[in-house]
């Protein structure tokens, strides 16, 4: 009888016991990517308040932690060390203090970071110091030390929350050698993302037995092969072809994205990209059902959340106020004076004082016959009057070095042909566009700046100095450029002759493919063409140049023009209005 009562009691209690063994766990994953030094709600380049910033992200994170507590996971996806003077100052000027970028991410409680190409661009001394100052792992499963074959950064991190094990695998685009001198990343190599994922996913499943797998990829969504061997922007390909990811957080291409793809196993994978400048965050909620401690159900929801206009976190601003003051003092230093305002706006429609100032510097420092340069910022301006350190970040956006390379006349011509093919439309009537614009440009297309207008990025719109030439916009791609002479107007330009050509290191390493696909030089041969390279970035030399002369009278060299002018001039006026308004 006693046994009967015991078993009856057990049977009656079973539903309660079973219920107590089933529970739900919610995780919140917040991603920042391509912050580019936008830490404070202030633009140190334009010297004015700005949207976005880590200070505003912190406001959002605090709000979410009120709901999710320790179940909130905060991840950064790279390209955080370059862009604003806030990063530059602690990269190169104050190298003794803890790196501000690391201090801020530590303060905010980041759980993991990832390497981006512009982080590599700062050089090993900088990014290794930053990694060492971070109180969380900075990932890079496909960044390999050539001497040992081991990863330079941790390949992945295991994060355990509320009985759930989550693994984050970090990777970077392998196309670094296309853009950056090996002097910035000595002793390293960058392996293919898909091959790396295929290597690590089985190991992660075997070793860690994770409940959730997150890919943190500093690469965009539209894969392209560069230099004949580097697969850039392969994030979606990895999500589709390598089963096992629940979420793939991406970046690099500055394009907002939030969608699902199916992988080869038929499972859905969320792909999320908050774009750049900390204006939005990737916002992913993972809901797991656990029975007896094992995950029996999983639901993932991805979204993008705008943070650009949230009130900046007061505690964050107060904590980092001393560093703010140091950066302000740095950018406020006067270095010279310009006698007139210069702008990149004119650079799209012909020779401009803005780009030609860079040409002059490149020709001088590189002791070159010819210079190739592009407007690196879509809409930058330096006003007449006193010029400050802050203006130099407008004048030259990236930390590119200067190369002097040996190129033949034909290679120079062919590189320019590709540049103007990326830049200009083939006008078939006087009413056509001069520039190669996206459809519906100026009609509220998604994105901002040049990405809403140009079909191709303007940092590949190289013009030349040192030669006289015309660009016939009625001709098809590959037949637009006619080089008439060297800059003196009398010395002939010869296609067979070898010239000393000044370019930035991005271009000289194959960036934009003007020298590889355009000029026909193999990726391997580019290094052999370098005759001279600076050890500091071009912005440093521009500052020295302006300080040395004191007063600069920026003038266009007027060494090239669009023809026929009867078509090009009115078309330029129409396209200017589309790009910049009246």
Query: What DSSP assignment string belongs to 429-475?
Result: STTS-SB-B-TTTTS--SS-GGGGTBSS-GGG--EEESEEEEEETTS
Q: Are 460 and 507 in contact (CB under 8 A)?
A: no
pLDDT tier, 482 (very low <50, low <70, confident <90, very high otherwise): very high
Instruction: Report the 10 Å Cβ neighbour count for 466.
Output: 23
Q: Are 369 and 486 in contact (CB under 8 A)?
A: yes
Flag whether pLDDT at 15 surpasses 70: no
pLDDT tier, 581 (very low <50, low <70, confident <90, very high otherwise): confident
**Sequence-ordered list of residues with C-beta below 8 angstroms from that of 362, at least 6 positions apart, any chain:** 368, 371, 373, 402, 465, 502, 503, 504, 538
Q: Identify the three-state secondary structure at position 523.
A: helix
Query: What pLDDT does residue 447 have?
Result: 39
Query: What pLDDT does residue 72 have?
Result: 98
pTM of the entire structure? 0.90
Query: What pLDDT does residue 443 have?
Result: 45
| Fold adopted by 21-328 | Purple Acid Phosphatase; chain A, domain 2 (3.60.21)
Query: What pLDDT does residue 209 have?
Result: 96
User: For the chain, how many helices (H) and strands (E)?
Assistant: 17, 31
Q: Which among 100, 97, 74, 81 has a CA at the least distance from the CA of 37?
A: 81
Q: Diameter of the chain by CA atoms? A: 118
In the block, residue with structure tokens 């390293």: 188
**How much of the chain, in percent, has pLDDT values that exceed 90?**
91
Q: Please state the domain extents for the chain.
A: 21-328, 335-580
Query: What pLDDT does residue 452 have?
Result: 72
Instruction: Write a three-state SS string for 362-430.
Output: HHHHHCCCEEEECCCCCCCEECCEEEEHHHHHHHCCCCCCEEEEEEEHHHHHHHHHHHHHHHECCCCCC
Q: Which among 246, 237, 203 has a CA at the least distance from the CA of 73?
A: 246
pLDDT tier, 439 (very low <50, low <70, confident <90, very high otherwise): confident
Q: Which among 20, 15, 11 has a CA at the least distance from the CA of 290?
A: 20
**Sequence-ordered list of residues with C-beta below 8 angstroms from that of 137, at least 6 positions apart, any chain:** 112, 113, 153, 154, 157
Tokens of 527: 């290094």
pLDDT digits (tens, 9 = 90+) for 229-274: 999 999 999 999 999 999 999 999 999 999 999 999 999 999 999 9
Query: What pLDDT does residue 260 have?
Result: 97
**Sequence-ordered list of residues with C-beta below 8 angstroms from that of 517, at least 6 positions apart, any chain:** 418
Q: Angle at CA 90, nearest 5°, toward 84 and 93? A: 105
**Sequence-ordered list of residues with C-beta below 8 angstroms from that of 103, at least 6 positions apart, any chain:** 133, 320, 323
Q: How far apart are CA 417 and CA 519, in angstroms?
A: 9
Segment 51-55 shows an average pLDDT of 97
Question: Which superfamily is assigned to 335-580 in CATH?
Answer: 5'-Nucleotidase, C-terminal domain (3.90.780.10)
**How much of the chain, in percent, has pLDDT values that exceed 70?**
95
pLDDT digits (tens, 9 = 90+) for 112-164: 999 999 999 999 999 999 999 999 999 999 999 999 999 999 999 999 999 99
Q: Are 335 and 119 in contact (CB under 8 A)?
A: no
Tell me the pairing of strands 560-563 and 467-472: parallel
**Sequence-ordered list of residues with C-beta below 8 angstroms from that of 337, at least 6 positions apart, any chain:** 385, 386, 387, 550, 551, 552
């Amino acid at each position: 009888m006693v046994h009967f009562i015991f078993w009856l009691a057990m049977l009656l209690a079973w539903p309660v016991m079973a219920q107590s063994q089933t529970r739900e766990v919610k995780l919140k994953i917040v991603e920042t990517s391509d912050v580019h030094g936008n830490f404070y709600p202030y633009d140190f380049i334009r010297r004015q308040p700005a949207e976005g910033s880590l200070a505003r992200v912190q406001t959002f994170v605090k709000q979410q932690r009120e709901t999710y507590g320790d179940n909130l996971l905060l991840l950064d996806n790279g390209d955080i060390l370059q862009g604003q003077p806030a990063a530059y100052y602690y990269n190169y000027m104050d190298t003794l203090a803890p790196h501000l970028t690391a201090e801020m991410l530590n303060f905010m409680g980041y759980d993991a970071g990832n390497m981006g190409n512009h982080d590599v661009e700062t050089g090993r001394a900088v990014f290794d110091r930053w990694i060492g100052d971070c109180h969380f792992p900075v990932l890079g499963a496909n960044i390999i030390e050539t001497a040992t074959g081991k990863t330079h950064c941790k390949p992945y991190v295991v994060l355990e929350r509320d009985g759930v094990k989550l693994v984050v695998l970090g990777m970077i685009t392998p196309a670094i050698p296309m853009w950056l001198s090996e002097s910035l990343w000595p002793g390293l190599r960058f392996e293919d993302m898909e091959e790396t994922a295929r290597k690590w996913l089985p190991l992660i499943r075997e070793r860690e037995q994770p409940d959730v797998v997150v890919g943190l990829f500093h690469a965009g969504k539209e894969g392209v092969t560069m230099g004949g061997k580097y697969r850039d922007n392969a994030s979606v390909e990895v999500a589709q072809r390598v089963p096992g990811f629940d979420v793939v957080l991406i970046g690099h291409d500055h394009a907002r994205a939030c969608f699902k793809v199916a992988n080869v196993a038929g499972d859905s994978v969320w792909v999320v990209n908050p774009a750049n400048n900390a204006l939005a965050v990737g916002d992913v909620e993972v809901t797991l059902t656990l029975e007896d401690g094992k995950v029996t159900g999983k639901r993932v929801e991805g979204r993008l959340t705008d943070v650009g206009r949230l009130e900046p976190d007061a505690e964050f601003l107060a904590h980092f106020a001393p560093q703010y003051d140091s950066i302000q003092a740095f950018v406020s230093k006067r270095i010279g004076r310009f006698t007139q305002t210069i702008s990149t706006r004119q650079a799209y429609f012909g020779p401009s004082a803005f780009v030609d100032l860079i040409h002059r510097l490149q020709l001088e420092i590189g002791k070159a016959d010819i210079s190739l340069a592009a407007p690196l910022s879509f809409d930058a301006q330096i006003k007449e009057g006193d010029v400050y350190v802050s203006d130099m970040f407008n004048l030259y956006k990236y930390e590119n070095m200067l190369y002097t390379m040996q190129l033949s006349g034909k290679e120079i011509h062919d590189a320019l042909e590709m540049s103007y093919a990326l830049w200009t439309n083939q006008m078939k009537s006087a009413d056509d566009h001069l520039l190669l614009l996206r459809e519906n440009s100026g009609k509220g297309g998604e994105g901002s700046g040049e990405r809403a207008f140009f079909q191709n990025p303007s940092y590949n719109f190289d013009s030349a100095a040192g030669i006289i030439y015309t660009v016939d916009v009625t001709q098809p791609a590959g037949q637009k450029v006619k080089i008439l002479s060297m800059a003196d107007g009398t010395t002939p330009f010869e296609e067979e002759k070898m010239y000393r050509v000044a370019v930035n290191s991005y271009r000289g390493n194959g960036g934009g493919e003007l020298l590889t696909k355009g000029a026909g030089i193999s990726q391997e041969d580019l290094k052999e063409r370098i005759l001279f390279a600076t050890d500091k970035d071009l912005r440093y030399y521009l500052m020295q140049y302006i300080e040395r002369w004191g007063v600069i009278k920026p003038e266009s060299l007027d060494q090239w023009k669009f023809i026929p002018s009867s078509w090009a001039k009115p078309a330029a006026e129409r396209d200017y209005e589309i790009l910049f308004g009246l």
